[in-house]
Structure 1
Amino acid sequence: MTNNTHIDKDFGWFIGGFDNNQLHRHYAIQLSIPMEGKVILRTKENEVESEYPILIKSNVAHQVISNNRQFLLLINPASTIGHFWNHLSDKEIQEINLSPATDLRRVLIDTNQQQVPDEELNSIIEKHDCFCNSAIHKGDERINSALVYLSNHFDRVVSLDEIADYCHVSTSRFLHLFKEETGITYRRAQLWNKLLKGMPQFGKKSFTEIAHGVGFSDSAHFSRIFKENFGFSPREFLKISQFIQV
């Protein structure tokens, strides 16, 4: 049986029908690819209807309207992969007819409702980061280096002083550059890492135990930050998740 969910350190994807038609926002960069028919993505100012991939930037209020299956990709904006996707478009919401979005769509459509090739999807996502050779990439080299440093030290909290010193800039300058390049604050990036460390425990421990284990004051705080980042509450996420790998 194919897995309809995959969670990795810097991205996660889901395949299925999503009936949450409320206007909502989250800090993850989102790519929606309809696998049957079309999908409608609405914001307060815009609406895009397409059978092709649609990219939504971080923290943009949006509404998904679709009665069919779709591929939903959520990407950490404070990662080398997220940095690439963030620069793939200069609009808050936009149809994307460029690789790797078109490559993902091709794989999904070619399966023709058969088993989805997880490894092929993950390979396409993982090979496109801000150190690829694509001419579309741009950005501040100091933040590029910072994102790699954070990825290499994922197992611990990297202080603001440490990362700013690594980038040879003041803390205030680093915070400005980080927000400008990733779309989220440095504090938000650290919260993202805390949440990821708790995910492998879903279904094994209570949310209160998980929250305390990764440094949140209580389960309510953990749940609120989780939904702000991913658009799902931990309980909603647990219901649709069949496979957890971090």
Structure 2
Amino acid sequence: MKTRIIKSPNMTVILGQITDNLLHQHYAVQLTVALNEPFEVITASSRYRASDFAAKPMVKHQLNSAGSVLVLLVNPASRFGHTLSKHLLKEDHSAIPEQLLTPLTVLAKQWHQQEISDQRFLEFLKQLTDGLVHTCSFKQPLGDTRISQALDYIERYHERVIPATELADLTALSTSRFLHLFKHVTGVSYRRMQLWLRLMASFDLVGSTLTMTQLAHSSGFADSAHYCRTFKECFGYTPSAVFKRSEFESITTNKKTTG
């Protein structure tokens, strides 16, 4: 089965095998669930086998799976991402909390076995993540209303990467104050989030006739070298390996799946 990628404004879902990647780190919160057999986990300080794995943003890790796995890459500045980072995940990397692991595993296996469609999978996933956010009683996950306002704006205009100056104007803050406050509240820098969003935007161009340089420019990178280097640092793969049509299939949806 080809590895499949589904995108939404605040989450990227990957279903398939993970092999031959390198130690890497990225902006997203990562959740990984084995669908048939345990996978190997390598971090900066450990190496072990597991059936599930969770990592906070910017935690170095490497996975190798002979069988299929489900990977969720969650924007840590979304409500679900913030709930994961600040409430459910106690360590930088750990097992997935049981209240999330059990229903997520069931849902992943149903999707993997084609018992439910992509759309139904996304709908059920949204119900699950919304329920966890509600259970945590964290209706305002970001403790500053100005940052909440900025994040709502980012989500509303998720099809473009918004300059920090635009959000500073929106929140009536200086650019430097906005950048400081954003990192203080969310735990990640806005510039790092911009870089991640540009990488995610490049997935929309999979299968196009663009050259790597054109794809890099279209996604907001200065050149293909910067794009390829950033991509490999975040995923442990080169973009050409990920976008190879014979191995990977990309499915993009603009439907919100988490908020």
TM-score where L is the length of structure 2: 0.78
Of 138, 153, 174, the residue aligned with 2:178 is: 174
1:150 corresponding residue in structure 2: 154
Mapping for residues 65-84 of structure 1, pairs under 5 Å: 65-84=64-83
- Cα deviation 1:136-169 (Å, max 9, x = unaligned): 6444243333221111122444332332343455
Conservation of the 8 A alpha-carbon contact between 1:81 and 1:125: no
Higher relative contact order (CA 8 A, sep 6+): 2
TM-score where L is the length of structure 1: 0.82
Conservation of the 8 A alpha-carbon contact between 2:35 and 2:67: yes
2:84 corresponding residue in structure 1: 85
- Cα deviation 1:32-58 (Å, max 9, x = unaligned): 10111223323223456433x321111
- Cα deviation 1:204-233 (Å, max 9, x = unaligned): 111211222233221111222233344432
1:106 corresponding residue in structure 2: 106
1:18 corresponding residue in structure 2: 18
Distance across 1 between alignment mates of 2:107 and 2:240: 30
1:159 corresponding residue in structure 2: 163
2:114 corresponding residue in structure 1: 115
1:135 corresponding residue in structure 2: 136
State the Cα RMSD in Å. 3.0
2:248 corresponding residue in structure 1: 241
Distance across 2 between alignment mates of 1:45 and 1:201: 36
Aligned partner of residue 68 in structure 1, secondary structure: coil
Greater mean alpha carbon deviation, residues 93-102 or residues 123-132: 123-132
Uncovered stretches (5+) of structure 2, i.e. residues with no partner: 254-259
Conservation of the 8 A alpha-carbon contact between 1:211 and 1:222: yes
Identical columns (%): 32
Letter of the 1:211 partner, please give it. Answer: A
Distance across 2 between alignment mates of 1:178 and 1:32: 27
1:19 and 1:195, CA in 2 relative to 1: closer, same or farther beyond 3 A?
Answer: closer
Uncovered stretches (5+) of structure 1, i.e. residues with no partner: none
Conservation of the 8 A alpha-carbon contact between 2:16 and 2:70: yes
Distance across 2 between alignment mates of 1:178 and 1:31: 24
1:38 and 1:23, CA in 2 relative to 1: closer, same or farther beyond 3 A?
Answer: same
What is the CA-CA distance between 1:110 and the residue it aligns to? 4.9
Instruction: Write out the 4+ residue segments of structure 1 that deviate beyond 6 Å after TM superposition.
Output: none
- Cα deviation 1:154-199 (Å, max 9, x = unaligned): 2444332332343455544432332244443111222233333332
Aligned partner of residue 115 in structure 1, secondary structure: coil
2:56 corresponding residue in structure 1: 57
2:6 corresponding residue in structure 1: 6
What is the CA-CA distance between 1:70 and the residue it aligns to? 1.2
Letter of the 1:174 partner, please give it. Answer: F
Distance across 2 between alignment mates of 1:107 and 1:2: 19
Of 218, 221, 230, the residue aligned with 1:216 is: 221
Conservation of the 8 A alpha-carbon contact between 2:22 and 2:237: no
1:232 matches 2:237: yes
1:208 and 1:228, CA in 2 relative to 1: closer, same or farther beyond 3 A?
Answer: same
Conservation of the 8 A alpha-carbon contact between 1:56 and 1:92: yes
1:220 and 1:173, CA in 2 relative to 1: closer, same or farther beyond 3 A?
Answer: same
Letter of the 1:68 partner, please give it. Answer: G
Distance across 2 between alignment mates of 1:60 and 1:173: 26
